[in-house]
Amino acid sequence: MARRRLVTLTTDIGSVYAAQMKAVLYRFLGPGEVVDLAHDLPRHAIREAAFLLRQIASGFPAGTVHVAVIDPGVGGRRAPIAIRCADGSTLVGPDNGVLAPLAERLGGPKAYRLDPERVATSSVPPSATFEGRDLFAPAAALLARGKDPRDLGTPLAFQRLDLPVPTRTGSMARGEVLHVDRFGNLITNLPAGWLPPRPGRVRTRVGRSQWRPLARARTYEEIPTRREPAVLGSSFGTVEVSVREGSAAEWYGVTSGAPVELAWTPRRSRPRSKERK
Amino acid sequence: MARRRLVTLTTDIGSVYAAQMKAVLYRFLGPGEVVDLAHDLPRHAIREAAFLLRQIASGFPAGTVHVAVIDPGVGGRRAPIAIRCADGSTLVGPDNGVLAPLAERLGGPKAYRLDPERVATSSVPPSATFEGRDLFAPAAALLARGKDPRDLGTPLAFQRLDLPVPTRTGSMARGEVLHVDRFGNLITNLPAGWLPPRPGRVRTRVGRSQWRPLARARTYEEIPTRREPAVLGSSFGTVEVSVREGSAAEWYGVTSGAPVELAWTPRRSRPRSKERK
Amino acid sequence: MARRRLVTLTTDIGSVYAAQMKAVLYRFLGPGEVVDLAHDLPRHAIREAAFLLRQIASGFPAGTVHVAVIDPGVGGRRAPIAIRCADGSTLVGPDNGVLAPLAERLGGPKAYRLDPERVATSSVPPSATFEGRDLFAPAAALLARGKDPRDLGTPLAFQRLDLPVPTRTGSMARGEVLHVDRFGNLITNLPAGWLPPRPGRVRTRVGRSQWRPLARARTYEEIPTRREPAVLGSSFGTVEVSVREGSAAEWYGVTSGAPVELAWTPRRSRPRSKERK
């Protein structure tokens, strides 16, 4: 007998709509088998959600069913899908790319277009504006109870979503903000390994700001000046721009998608005093 | 032996107070037997909460215990109650109408005024300002463990709450906004079935706005113009006014309770061009 | 065999980071064994969080594992700790005082500095900016599964945090706001027992406001005037300043830490009319 799996929910739809998904799930599942991850993601921000879902969900045990509802095209042309990955995890949501980076990370993805008639857990047809409740939730419940995704739909090539790749040329690097966290920290796609060994300063440009030498800190506490931005390695493994006791997003007036550039002084080529001016 | 039931929580009290209710519940219940539905409902908005609770909770399995804490009159004259419904579900909360539409939907409601002494799970008397923690939570725990509501109180006729009924006369319909969702969509009480078959336009008035022909869409993606309102059928089964990539609530400057009117052109009575101007 | 224990999470880090902690916890724990208490506490407000954590967590069953992540000094000098209390509950978090009032309340606290190598649940070293995920979560999971905190670290004297003590001299009392709740109510540290028996008025000063005779109410409903502040006994057992259908925090323009003073008219010494003017 198939062991039951956890179902996680990651959405931008808020508590009230998410609660309706939980109602459906608990018609099939036992106590505690549904885990809320986030329901307050930025509205319709598919790329940011794809990045966060990969980060969060890849930490769950193999075999978990992850449902993502960031779905501006609900009821339209994008397909409702389920993706089975190599580790037995299953991803459920719209085929708009939000599941793609997680599917790649987990590996071996096989995707299926969900067929409402095969999911059919009730006589009510799915609404055109809330497939999260009417199709994804019952499909996730069936998958958590051991149903094979092949039995709920037909194979399809799912839509890829390539998160932006940072570039590095000589003493310059260019990436962008992928997520603004609750503290206003800017989480970028630049690998933390590109930062110089501490301590020191890194000339940095965020959005359309001036170039500015920022302190490179290892922890928030190490940031030397309050209410000034600094760079450090984020818990995502990437470069983070942070303002101690403040918000880097407000400091720079930027949000997800803003470019972030780093420049290193070629060592020994110039006197330090000038470069750091 | 009675099977344990899930306890759901729907409140406007925020995470900190809700956490105190969970502390009490978990003194009696097992892992995962408490399900958070929402703790961020609009403050003291009894009617909106009643509408949402009916929508959310009626989807849960029969036998669930639903606790609602939207309770501006806490500790005052309104009674603390439990309502047992025909399907075995039990509703717990203040007798201010918030439970009534759900009770009617589930059918066969029998209500009891909760007696603090009979609930009495501790030597501490209930506080005058937080019966959610001190009376509803322990009562819900006992009910979830199989206690009969008759043993926790005395019968009473619970307060009804009639959600506003939309009216339709000839080519005009009048309803109102019952809920503003996280996206600023206006969820009305007008049946979606009153909308004309798509496509086309429906003359619409929201709050004190001008009459305006709005596109009738089936999905958000079908809304032809960005940042302009349109009408569609909501996942509540009613008419929804939505602004693509924007907030209809902000567009119109309205909130729950605002009137929403629809007018249809009598077919063939006038040339279209004029009517749609 | 040790019975598994619930793990509760109280943080200021928001849903996305909390979800990453849940991913780690569910690699070790069963369905429903993780309980979200709050992830939206005020940023880096250690004292307020310490007060709330004591209030919330002391209501949970003995043996629960409580994790708190309000951690501005993450990765820095403050130690990561676990505290075992007399009732078998275990507290996990940073040694910045946030756990101290709860530890005192539960009694018999024995603290240990967590050793990352002994927690070591993976080959990945803890990040410098998110020990909640990389150290506290795996430690909490091990503790919930019966591990003794002595096996995860070395004894240490944990940092105390003394919540401010209210003072009373003759007909005056002085305390402060410890928490602003979702409704803008000001929860103080003044014992509710210091309020006069109702009804009547209490001269009150909040922040730098004028002295003002406030109605003393037992419930919100009893507050005689809308949009005017009144005092009542909070569900924390302390004095609360509340504005009916409004926010006391906005009314006074204050937040946590603001002083709150009460003054009682010496009985019979002066005519009432003058005093209350």
pLDDT digits (tens, 9 = 90+) for A166-201: 999 988 999 999 999 999 999 999 999 999 876 788
Average pLDDT over residues C78-95: 97
Q: What end-to-end distance do the CA atoms of chain B give, in Å? A: 68
C8 contacts in chain B (CB < 8 Å): 19
The alpha-carbon gap from B229 to the nearest alpha carbon of chain A, in Å, equals: 16
CA angle C53, C26, B12 (to 5 degrees): 45
Which residues, given as ranges, of chain A have pLDDT below 70? 1-4, 121-125, 198, 266-277
DSSP states of B112-141 as a string?
EEE-HHHH--SSSPPPSS-HIIIIIHHHHH
Token pair recorded at residue C60: 């949970």
Is A73 in CB contact (< 8 Å) with chain B? yes
Contact B235 A36 (CB under 8 A): no
The alpha-carbon gap from A10 to the nearest alpha carbon of chain C, in Å, equals: 9
DSSP states of C29-47 as a string?
S-TT-EEEEES-PPTT-HH
Interface test with A, best of B182, B188, B243, B244 (most A CBs within 10 A): B182
Contact B219 A74 (CB under 8 A): yes
Is C234 in CB contact (< 8 Å) with chain B? yes
Nearest CA in chain B to A133: B235
Is B198 in CB contact (< 8 Å) with chain A? no
Nearest to C232 by CA among C263, C190, C267: C190
Q: What is the pLDDT of residue A235?
A: 95
Q: Give phi and psi for C244, each to the nearest 5.
A: -65, 130
Distance CA B58, CA A104 (A): 38
Contact A183 C127 (CB under 8 A): no
DSSP states of B82-118 as a string?
EEE-TTS-EEEEESSSTTHHHHHHH---EEEEE-HHH
Question: Is this complex scored with an ipTM above 0.90?
Answer: yes
Average pLDDT over residues C53-71: 96
Q: Which residue has the tokens 């609660």?
A: A19
Does the pLDDT value for residue C146 go beyond 90? yes
Out of B16, B36, B130, closest to residue C56 by CB:
B16
pTM over 0.90: yes
pLDDT along chain B (277 residues), means of 10: 77 98 96 98 97 96 97 93 98 98 97 94 75 96 96 97 94 96 97 85 95 94 90 96 95 97 69 43
Interface test with B, best of C10, C221, C232 (most B CBs within 10 A): C221
Query: Which is it for strands C212-216 and C229-233: parallel, antiparallel or unpaired?
Result: parallel
The alpha-carbon gap from B248 to the nearest alpha carbon of chain A, in Å, equals: 15
Could you tell me if C71 and C46 are in contact, meaning their C-beta atoms sit under 8 angstroms apart? Answer: no
Could you tell me if B32 and B79 are in contact, meaning their C-beta atoms sit under 8 angstroms apart? Answer: no
DSSP states of C43-60 as a string?
TT-HHHHHHHHHHHHTTS
Does the pLDDT value for residue C277 go beyond 70? no
The alpha-carbon gap from A214 to the nearest alpha carbon of chain C, in Å, equals: 18
* Helix H or strand E encompassing B237: none
Q: What is the pLDDT of residue A141?
A: 97
Does the pLDDT value for residue C56 go beyond 90? yes
